[in-house]
Amino acid sequence: MKTKLLDARLPREGSLEEMQAMRKRAAAAIGEAADILKRGGLVAFPTETVYGLGGDALNPAAAAAIYAAKGRPSDNPLIVHIAQRDQLTQLTGCVSETAEKLMDAFWPGPLTMIFKKKEAVPNGTTGGLSTVAVRMPDDPVTLALIRESGLCIAGPSANLSGSPSPTSWEHVYNDLSGRIDAILQSGESRVGIESTVLDLTEEIPTVLRPGWVTPEEIGAVIGGRVEMDPALFVNRPRDVSAGRDEQPEIRLLEDCVGPAPKAPGMKYRHYAPKAEMVILQGSQEAVHREAKRLAQEQETRGKKVAMLLFSDEDLAAAAKTLFSELRRCDEEGVDFIVASAVEASDSVGFAIMNRMLKSAGYHVVTV
Ligand code: AMP
Ligand code: MG
């Protein structure tokens, strides 16, 4: 199948005529994308978190096609995207007061909420679960697409399963060209990491996947306790000391014992670049010194090395660039990535580390 590129870039500046022409082209692109979705096809769409791969959430054949295009394990449920709150009534009969407050505060935005699902939502969309994950993305192109199609749109990240999530339409094209009907071309994703996933089906709201919306912010809105899925802590870096001559300890997801994550997707290998990756943890000075030493060591072995040295001072930039940097390393044929840990006691830092640890296969060295 040939993947169609549909130009939905909205004007930022230009003459009146140019701006009008761009708006017209975007409207036509959105219209064409909506028609594809209504026919059961697949269209990648922009969001503020990462690009999504959309299909009709209530059509089991479209859901099955999403899993096939991504190579996604069939027990990993899809997030359903809506543009208006009244669409929720098609998906769930249980919207609590807590959920209403959270929607008021965070929608449209990077918070996904899990509800008990209605019969009409196919098991093929929810990975066989009796619950459904729903979010209203904060992107004008995608909100227009959902409205125009009149559908609830299932949309996991638009990457091949296992690779870093896509934050530009080019990333989507590299992974899924020839496997999906179309890509809505728009700008880069602003947030850069996936939404916070919050389970509202138990008594105490529980974060299953950390993201840009923090448990502190959620707690402040609902005026009550928020829990974290204990599985999120199982794989946190243990103090692993690696002296100069010692082999760093490598921890793999499969080696970790503890409770299974409640979000099925959290147990899979994820976000992995082709290169070997190590995360250095310690004072900025020690990390920079060890990064330089490691890079030299690898280079003398003929390896191509890249450094991803993030700053705790600008976690927004770390979130926005992590996945695109990992993809850039792949494109440039990098063999070895040295990354610096960010401060995981900060909730956004914790969300970034949750991704970075998976990218590195839990290969952390404390310096
Ligand atoms: P992605 O769409 O690739 O961003 O991943 C969606 C994440 O949400 C995965 O980790 C899923 O396992 C999780 N998720 C989606 N629906 C549910 C659900 N009904 N219950 C628990 N986790 C869910
Ligand atoms: Mg994903």
pLDDT (tens digit per residue) in 189-237? 999 999 999 999 999 999 999 999 999 999 999 999 999 999 898 654 4
Q: Which of 45, 208, 266, 267 has most ligand 1 atoms within 8 Å of its beta carbon, as the pocket-test mutant? A: 208
The label of the residue with tokens 């992107």 reads 139
Q: Which residue has the higher pLDDT, 172 or 257?
A: 172
Tokens of 195: 């939404």
CA 11 centroid distance within chain:
26
Determine the distance separating the centroid of ligand 1 and the alpha carbon of 4, expressed in angstroms: 27
Of 76, 202, 213, 354, best ligand 1 pocket probe by most atoms within 8 Å of the beta carbon: 76
CA distances from 286 to 248, 281, 339 (A): 16, 9, 13
CB half-sphere exposure, 51, CA atoms < 13 A: 31
Name the CATH code of domain 4-222 (choices 1.20.1280.290, 3.30.110.40, 3.30.70.260, 3.90.870.10): 3.90.870.10
Predicted TM-score (pTM) of the model is 0.93
Nearest 10 degrees: CA dihedral of 202, 203, 204, 210? 10
What is the predicted pLDDT for the residue at 264?
83
Alpha-carbon distance values, 144 to 30, 82, 251, 275, 336 (Å): 7, 10, 44, 38, 41
Q: Please report, as a single letter, which amino acid is at residue 57.
A: A
pLDDT of residue 270: 81
**Residue nearest to ligand 1 atom 7, measured at CA:** 265
Reported as a single tens digit per residue, the pLDDT across 73-100 is: 989 999 999 999 999 999 999 899 999 9
Which pLDDT does position 265 carry in this prediction? Answer: 77
Rounded to the nearest angstrom, the distance between the alpha carbon of 288 and the centre of ligand 2 is 31
- For the stretch 350-367, pLDDT in tens is 999 999 999 998 899 999
Instruction: Give me the mean pLDDT over the 33-62 stretch.
Output: 98
Burial of residue 5, with CB atoms counted within 10 A of its CB: 0-12 exposed, 13-18 middle, 19 or more buried:
middle
Ligand 2 centre to CA of 335 (Å) is: 24
Is 80 exceeded by the pLDDT of residue 300? yes
In what order do the strands lie in the sheet containing 336-340?
305-308, 336-340, 276-281, 364-366
**Average of per-residue pLDDT values in the chain:** 92
> What is the CA angle 330-196-352, rounded to 5?
40
**DSSP H or E segment with residue 79:** strand 79-81
Assigned fold of 231-366: Rossmann fold (3.40.50)
Whether the bond between 215 and the residue before it is cis, its omega within 30 degrees of 0, is no
How many Cα atoms within 13 Å fall on the side-chain side of residue 252? 4
Q: Is 207 in the pocket of ligand 1 (CB under 6 A)?
A: no
* C-beta of residue 184 within 8 angstroms of C-beta of residue 43: yes
162 or 116, greater pLDDT: 116
> What residues pair up with 308 in beta bridges, in sequence order?
339
Category of 220 on φ-ψ map: left (φ > 0), alpha (ψ -120 to 50) or beta: alpha
For the stretch 250-297, pLDDT in tens is 333 444 456 778 888 776 668 889 999 999 999 999 999 999 999 999
Where in the chain are the domains? 4-222, 231-366
